Amino acid sequence: MNKPVKYLKIEKKIFTSPLGKIGYIVIFVLLGAIFMSILDFILYGFIDNFYLTKFIFNGEMSFSRWFSLIYSQYSYSFLKILFFGIIFLFIAIYRSKTLNKIFSK
């Protein structure tokens, strides 16, 4: 017995629009890369940063000062984004093949 494949309504809109399969893959990869960039920044701020103890535990620093220090010290890594983009590219290609089977019926 085959399980029914579930998909989001937005996936159907994008996939059946003039953008088609290629547009779906591009949007999926871009949204994934943006999401991973934001997640990387948040993880850097809360895990890798030594100013966190001054902000949360001691109260020596205000939130705006803490955020500006994190933002100024954060190094944007193109290699990380490229790596996540490649992962999301493979996921998007697999997902688009699945959606193509569904919507071609």
Least confident of 11-20, 31-40, 92-101: 11-20
Between the alpha carbon of residue 27 and those of residues 15, 34, 53, 55, 63, the distances in Å are 11, 11, 38, 37, 33
Residue 99 included in any domain: yes
Residue 22 included in any domain: yes
Tens of pLDDT, residues 25-79: 888 888 888 888 888 888 877 776 666 766 676 777 777 887 887 778 777 778 8
Separation of alpha carbons 8 and 52, rounded Å: 38
For residue 100, what pLDDT is reported? 78
Angle at 25 between CA 21 and CA 30, to 5 degrees: 150
**Which residue segment(s) compose the domain that 81 sits in?**
10-103
Report residue 42 as tokens: 């948040």
Query: What's the mean pLDDT in 8-18?
Result: 74
Residue 67 included in any domain: yes
Residue with the bigger pLDDT between 9 and 86: it is: 86
Separation of alpha carbons 48 and 43, rounded Å: 7
Residue 90 included in any domain: yes
For residue 48, what pLDDT is reported? 60
Domain tally for the chain? 1
Query: Would the pTM count as exceeding 0.75?
Result: no
